[in-house]
Amino acid sequence: MYRQPVPTRERIEKNERLFREVNERIREVGQRFADDLTRFDFFCECADFECTERLTLTLRDYESVRAHPARFVVLPGHELPDVEYVVGHEDGYVVVEKPGLLE
């Protein structure tokens, strides 16, 4: 049976940044056409390379998470306790923080 190799911190961060960039484009488009309370589908910013699941947040909620460069939005159960801390449980998503990560 094939097992996917354990991702390194570098690969985890690369994957998270990729989805962060996609989510930033969603946020930018959303700002042009909606208010802070309009809900949008954002991609889970977890470390799983195969995850393409989405979670729904308001623009205001997403921007609140993004105000902290080391914080990411992930689906419940997608946290990696070995490399990140859960800093919030919200309706339909979890906010995690990567210690020592600066953008």
Query: pLDDT tens across 17-65, in order?
Result: 777 777 787 777 777 777 767 888 999 998 887 889 999 999 889 999 9
Q: What is the pLDDT of residues 63-86, one digit of tens each?
A: 999 899 899 999 999 998 888 899
34 Cβ neighbours under 8 A, 6+ residues apart: 40, 59
Q: Is residue 20 part of a domain?
A: yes
Q: Is the dihedral of CA 81, 83, 88, 91 positive or negative?
A: negative
26 located within any domain:
yes
Q: What is the residue range of 37's domain?
A: 9-97
Q: CB of 79 within 8 A of CB of 89?
A: no
State pTM to two decimals.
0.74
Residue 61 placed within a domain? yes
